[in-house]
Structure 1
Amino acid sequence: MFQAMPYDGTRSERFEAVLSQLGALMQDEPSAIANLANASALLKHSLPDTNWAGFYLFDGKELVLGPFQGLPACIRIPLNRGVCGTAAAERRTLVVDDVHAFPGHIACDAASNSEIVVPLIKEGRLLGVLDIDSPLKHRFDDEERRFLERFAAMVSEVI
């Protein structure tokens, strides 16, 4: 049975603990859906001031909603549309301090004010994106970006 580790260290130590927990959750689990579901739950409960954490999977044409934690979300997102579609098309992490200022932002949850989207890439192939929203503006910083890129790389290896 999985138990959350206490987070009584530096922020970087907490990030390392979450990565360790992710590895333990996914170890020997062949189901992509189970791994994505646990990964989204782990993030939602590990990152304060977030209101949505989950995945959109690339079906060869567009992004399709995958496992997540939060309110119901947009089901399909075209490439190059919104933060998720742009990050997927450009295959780069996007940190958006104010989603309302992002051209073409798709407002799935009106409470979201900032967002980070990390592409999931394996062997040069786009698998989808990791998407995290916050009700706070300027919520995500560079240290968190690096952590979430490592998190996404681990997830990409098992889906």
Structure 2
Amino acid sequence: MSFTSIPLTGSKPEQYAQLAAQARALLAGEPDRVANAANLAALVYHALPDLNWVGFYFHDGRELVVGPFQGLPACVRIPLDKGVCGAAARTRQTQRVEDVEAFPGHIACDAASRSELVVPLVKDDALIGVFDLDSPRVGRFDADDQRGLEAIAQVFVEALR
């Protein structure tokens, strides 16, 4: 299968709608979470500006374990009581952090990361993991980014069987 990413146009909500449609097309008919996470991380990393890491951490029943990603090598394991990813997994609420240096217990896997958005992945009330995006720019993520990336994370969850 060949996939062509189409440049995003319009307002930020319109761009996220286009990106979600591309994600649905990319994941259509494929239930494997590793394959889908790999493709989705690449799609988002290359489609959105000012990102230095996009990827997935999967819950193994005790902690988060790094999955497919784009960016520099990452922390392999994250306890649920540590960092932005742990907070998203523990609370099952998206964490949008303007400046990671001001976040208590932040885990600096990449010293260049300055802001972060982490969306919990939940299916049938079970924690699957988190979708994590880092930026080298303080304040990179706003409410439109949060809504758009939550929708893209939902596309991933819905593809799981």
TM-score in terms of structure 2 length: 0.96
Measured after TM superposition, the shift of residue 154 of structure 1 is 1.2
Q: Hey, what does 1:55 align to over in structure 2?
A: 56
In structure 2, give the amino acid aligned to 1:108.
C
Write the deviation string for residues 116-151 of structure 1: whole angstroms up to 9, x where unpaired.
Answer: 000000011100000000000011000110111111
Distance 2:35 2:129 in 1: 16
Q: Hey, what does 1:137 align to over in structure 2?
A: 138
- Aligned 1:102-117 pairs, distance under 5 A: 102-117=103-118
Q: Hey, what does 1:15 align to over in structure 2?
A: 16
**Alpha-carbon contact 2:28-2:159 (below 8 Å) kept:** no
Measured after TM superposition, the shift of residue 69 of structure 1 is 0.2
- Aligned 1:1-159 pairs, distance under 5 A: 1-159=2-160
Distance 1:115 1:8 in 2: 24
Distance 1:58 1:24 in 2: 26
Measured after TM superposition, the shift of residue 30 of structure 1 is 2.6
Cα RMSD, aligned residues only: 0.8
Count, aligned residues: 159
Distance 1:13 1:140 in 2: 16
The runs of at least 4 aligned residues of structure 1 exceeding 3 Å deviation read none
Q: Which has the higher contact order (CA 8 A, sep 6+)?
A: 2
Distance 1:43 1:6 in 2: 12
In structure 1, give the amino acid aligned to 2:137.
L
Distance 1:9 1:141 in 2: 17
Distance 1:17 1:86 in 2: 29
Distance 1:12 1:86 in 2: 26
Measured after TM superposition, the shift of residue 10 of structure 1 is 2.0
**Alpha-carbon contact 2:74-2:110 (below 8 Å) kept:** yes
Measured after TM superposition, the shift of residue 107 of structure 1 is 0.4
In structure 2, give the amino acid aligned to 1:48.
P
Runs of 5+ in structure 1 lacking a partner? none
In structure 1, give the amino acid aligned to 2:123.
K
**Alpha-carbon contact 2:29-2:159 (below 8 Å) kept:** no
Distance 2:77 2:56 in 1: 12
Distance 2:59 2:34 in 1: 14
Measured after TM superposition, the shift of residue 8 of structure 1 is 2.7
Measured after TM superposition, the shift of residue 158 of structure 1 is 2.2
Percent identical pairs in the alignment equals: 55
Measured after TM superposition, the shift of residue 112 of structure 1 is 0.2
Runs of 5+ in structure 2 lacking a partner? none
In structure 2, give the amino acid aligned to 1:46.
A
